[in-house]
Amino acid sequence: MPDEAAAPPRSRAGRRRKGEPALSLDQIVSEALALLDEEGLDALSMRRLGTRVGAAATAVYWHVATKDELMELVVDEVYGEIVVPDVEDPVGWRAAVTTCASNLRAAILRHPWITSVLDEVGVTYRGPHLMRVSDRMLALFEAAGFDLVRADQALGTVLAYVTGMAGAEAAASRRVAGDERSRTEALEAAEAAAEQYPRLQALYRAYRERGPADDDDFADGLDVVLDGIEARRGR
């Protein structure tokens, strides 16, 4: 008899005991995603999730064997939000990569907890949405003229930039909780602490005077990354 716990999570049939509400895997994943968005990683537990869906934690385990498996499914659900344009004309590869990078950044800002788990999930699980995004982004770099190995290197560079920048944006937003005064006070304190380091002091002052980072900052940095990638085309 096959081991049910080893079955792919989306194919494992759910069960319920008498008196328990019917649950679907999609419902469980949706509620887990909502809980993570509202309260962060520390809030997620099978018991807490069971309460949200109106069932015991044991009912959740009929659909997912472990919390780690649940996280894999939730991360893949987020990747389902990311749109990757189709590109057949090599001229359009850069605009398409820019669009996809912006879509990924937006997904991270909607679900800021995800940056803490991306590396681990990426190694242990390749869900259908994640694989779709990866495969289609590789196609964009192939359209630019890279072979698959170099396309993967270029993709990794772009992803590192996007997750790093978006993760920093999300962290900054959490620290100040939308309070611009808190941001200003933090930069003033940093500026004062950097009295012996004139470049840092001037940098903190410049950031304080210019206001929070915006879409243009992200786009400018992405252009720098893509300029470097484009310079390697044809090598």
The more confident residue out of 235 and 218 is 218
Residue 16 has pLDDT above 70, yes or no: no
Q: What is the pLDDT of residues 109-155, one digit of tens each?
A: 999 999 888 877 655 557 899 999 999 999 999 999 999 999 999 99
The more confident residue out of 184 and 71 is 71
Quickly tell me which residue has 């590192």 as its tokens: 160
The more confident residue out of 31 and 208 is 31
Predicted TM-score (pTM) above 0.85: no
From 64-78, 167-181, 210-224, the region with the lowest mean pLDDT: 167-181
At the topology level, CATH places domain 79-231 in: Tetracycline Repressor; domain 2 (1.10.357)
At the topology level, CATH places domain 4-65 in: Arc Repressor Mutant, subunit A (1.10.10)
Q: What does DSSP assign to residue 117?
A: T
Q: How far is CA 133 from CA 17, 76, 126, 136, 152, in A?
A: 38, 10, 11, 5, 13
Residue 13 has pLDDT above 50, yes or no: no
Q: What is the pLDDT of residues 155-169, one digit of tens each?
A: 999 999 999 999 888
Quickly tell me which residue has 């694989």 as its tokens: 131
Q: How far is CA 26 from CA 48, 50, 136, 202, in A?
A: 17, 14, 24, 51
Q: How far is CA 169 from CA 23, 125, 164, 190, 191, in A?
A: 36, 26, 9, 18, 20
Distance CA 210, CA 231 (A): 31
pLDDT at 187: 86
Residue 4 has pLDDT above 50, yes or no: no
Residue 176 has pLDDT above 70, yes or no: no
Q: Which of these, 103, 85, 109, 104, lies nearest to 37 by C-alpha position?
A: 109
Q: What is the pLDDT of residues 26-79, one digit of tens each?
A: 999 999 999 999 999 999 999 899 888 888 878 888 888 889 899 999 999 999
pLDDT at 233: 84
Highest mean predicted confidence (pLDDT) among 11-15, 165-169, 173-177? 165-169
pLDDT at 198: 93
Q: Percentage of the chain with pLDDT > 70?
A: 83
pLDDT at 194: 93
**Residue boundaries of the structural domains of the chain:** 4-65, 79-231
Average pLDDT of the residues of the chain: 84
How far does CA 36 lie from the centroid of its chain?
13
